[in-house]
Amino acid sequence: MKIVACNANRPLAEAVAAQLNLPLTKASIRRFADMEVFVEILENVRGEDVFVVQPTSFPANDNLMELLITLDALRRSSARRVTAVIPYFGYARQDRKTASRSPISAKLVANLITEAGANRVLTMDLHAAQIQGFFDIPVDNLYAAPLYSRDIQEQYNGRDIMIVSPDVGGVVRARMIATRLNCDLAIIDKRRERAGVSEVMNVIGDVEERDCILVDDMVDSGGTHCNAADALKRHGARSVSAYVTHGVLSGGAVARITSSPIEMMTITDSILATEAVKKAHNVRELTIAPLLAEAMRRISEESSVSSLFD
């Protein structure tokens, strides 16, 4: 078993390798003067079970190309099996045609990863679960729910909490955590006029004098979560916090969150944190390295990954 780290989130790859007590495989992933990606594997990987750790976060296209070229390099180096470990799967929001003559880019990316040489994919909290069906190779989609459930129990022990889904599409994810914690569930009825702009319509559920916890798979501009927090406070919520797996946090998202009613937003290290995220007073980070490492170990040993969530 070998682990190759691309450049998108090297600290996470190092943490995973430390959990598995393995060194990272030596590899050179660099740019030519015209920003072409060049990859060279500096160790023998013939017949090995290789895992490539690379979230396809910002800059999404550069990181995707790094992943594809690394997969191709390993395939041509006669690796026995190559698993693409993609903690954050970019382009996942383009999982269907939203208008006439629009692409389904998530399917295109799935095809590219498969053709580049991946034998299987390990990812986390896909924006749309059906993306697993876009691949003709095995896909393991991990969930942050067990990690979040344990942390919520530690942070909110004895408080009257309510799990809140910020939109109808996230109800299944929120219900999973609410069931684990044996607490109530509320839903934000949201209308999205265009990409990146949302408007809260209504709060379904009695949140008055409750400590509300928003649960979602990703935060990008932060508008949805800030609007949801405002709506929950208007409906009498005692406090509002958030647990979001992927902290995309583009543009002025961090500033928007720091000035919002959200007391604390907890994200994972699936995406490398920016300086703004590290300095934000109400954004904290949980590591997914132990979870990824255990899933990778089980894949290598051909044992059950789904039992991680039983």
Residues taking part in catalysis: 190
Three-state DSSP at 104 gives coil
Q: How far apart are CA 143 and CA 125, in angstroms?
A: 5
Continuous segment of H or E residues that includes residue 247: strand 239-247
Distances, alpha carbon 310 to alpha carbons 48, 52, 243, in Å? 30, 26, 21
* Max intra-chain CA distance, the chain: 61
Contact 72, 84 (CB under 8 A): no
Q: How far apart are CA 121 and CA 1, in angstroms?
A: 15
Continuous segment of H or E residues that includes residue 254: helix 253-258
Q: List Cβ neighbours of 167 (8 Å cut-off, separation of 6 or more).
A: 187, 188, 190, 198, 224
Pair type for strands 262-268 and 283-286:
parallel
